Structure 1
Amino acid sequence: MATREKSKGTRALTRERIVETAVRIGDTESLDTLTVRRLAGELGVGAMTLYSYFRNKEEILDAMADHVLGGMEVPPAESDDPVELLVGCGRAFRAMMLAHPCVVRLLSTRVTDSIDALDGAMEDVLARLETAGLTGAEVTRAYGVLITYALGFSGYQTPRTWGDDAEARRQRRHFYAGLPADRFPSTVRHSEELPTLASLEQFEFGLRLIAEGLSPSTGRD
């Protein structure tokens, strides 16, 4: 039975299936647990079979980044207000990172030249920024600020589960409030709000500040 399952898996195997499985492992567990042997086992094939599709794990990681970035979508604009257009781009980056947590580390460790990736995560965003009224170097600078803000926030939020979890947030408030007041007077004073640093509310707060600062409608010189 095991032999037949492996044979069936081999016949159905494609690069796309390999990459989708790798992304699922990276998203639900971590890139550290993603090995060629683990991936092959998940697919029901031998490790050597994967080497006929990818030369090594690095190529698999590159393909994962291409797959996730290529699937990014910038939702239709709900307003022609420049600030809202910029906010929408930042939210699109964040939505991609929420859907695929593995991309945070992938973007921090590799560069992609994939046509699909550039189309989904770059061309569409640059076009939206132009629609917002940005021109020349402003477009690329705004793009850089938005993607690195979303990337940095996502990396900060990932291990801090209390951001949008009421019970975890309550426990974190209790932790901050319980610190020695003589050594941490400011921390104790702000213990009620500190756990919100990893929340969606905080992301939106920072994103709107950035959008307002970048928007040509603010009258910047």
Structure 2
Amino acid sequence: MGRESGRGRGATLTPDLIIEAALRLSDADGDLDKLTVRRLAAELGVGAMTLYSYFRSRDEILDGMADRVLGRMSLPAGPATDPAQAIREVGHGFLRMMRDHPTVVRLLATRITDSRTALAGAMEGPLQRLVDAGIPGPVAVRCYGFLITYAIGFASYQVPRPWGHSGEGSDADEQRRQRSHVYSALPLDRFPRLVELSDELVALPSDAQFEFGLEAFVASVVRSL
């Protein structure tokens, strides 16, 4: 339609451009409810009715966002060498996808997609990697189910807790110090364990905690195989 994008002057409006803008807005806000057709149209520099010529409803835009993120889930090139490596790669792939686009956590928790693009990227690909590594199909399905729900839960827990995010430096260290103080300053008679373990508790939303759970699952599956 030749309209200009609010983020890309001279760019012709397309469904892909609309979805990219929707993901950018919702990821930045961290709140999918704030994504309205009117706000998205303003971001793109067009009227709301223009968007309805590409998508019939906000729900269709949300489905497009889910398809875009799920369909582009990435895994390492080449096959995994063993079941443990394949499980780690799929688990890390899910978490990476949700970090790159925090919106997908809410989308997965509230919507179901039968898009072939999404099914190929976020289901067929991970399942094939697990099976190729020597995990029987039925077990691979159970592994898949655990890994995606574990990543959804962990990402949901980590996002609003910045003291657990990766990174060193004064800001990260200060956030951890402040959170540790919240626990250590609690009344000792009522919260003896929180006070005692205040330094360890700040690591609950950390990457190390994700790895702890993932490795426990890897060990369990490898034993069963």
Deviations 1:69-117 (A, max 9, x none): 0111111358513212211110000000010000000000001111111
The equivalent position to 2:210 in structure 1, one of 198, 203, 221, is 203
- Give me the TM-score of the superposition, normalised by structure 1: 0.91
After TM superposition, the structure 1 stretch with the greater mean CA deviation from structure 2, 80-89 or 34-43, is 80-89
Query: What is the CA RMSD across the aligned residues, in angstroms?
Result: 1.7
Does residue 166 (structure 1) correspond to residue 173 (structure 2)? The answer is yes
1:183 match: 190
Aligned partner of residue 80 in structure 1, secondary structure: coil
How far residue 7 of structure 1 moved from its aligned partner, in angstroms, is 4.1
2:168 match: none
How far residue 174 of structure 1 moved from its aligned partner, in angstroms, is 0.7
2:62 match: 61
Deviations 1:143-178 (A, max 9, x none): 000000000000011111110332211111011011
User: Aligned partners of 1:185 and 1:193: how far apart in 2?
Assistant: 14
Indicate the structure whose relative CO is greater, using CA pairs within 8 Å and at least 6 residues apart. 1
2:103 match: 102
Contact 1:126 1:139 in 2 (8 A): yes
Look up the equivalent residue of 1:192 and give its one-letter code: D
- Stretches of structure 1 that go unaligned for 5 or more consecutive residues are 1-5
Look up the equivalent residue of 1:199 and give its one-letter code: S
Residues 95-134 of structure 1: matches in 2 within 5 Å? Answer: 95-134=96-135
Contact 1:86 1:132 in 2 (8 A): no
User: Aligned partners of 1:50 and 1:83: how far apart in 2?
Assistant: 45
After TM superposition, the structure 1 stretch with the greater mean CA deviation from structure 2, 104-113 or 127-136, is 127-136
Deviations 1:35-73 (A, max 9, x none): 000000000100001111111111110110000001111
Distance change (3 Å), C-alpha of 1:199 and 1:151 = same
- Stretches of structure 2 that go unaligned for 5 or more consecutive residues are 166-171
How far residue 131 of structure 1 moved from its aligned partner, in angstroms, is 2.0
How far residue 134 of structure 1 moved from its aligned partner, in angstroms, is 1.3
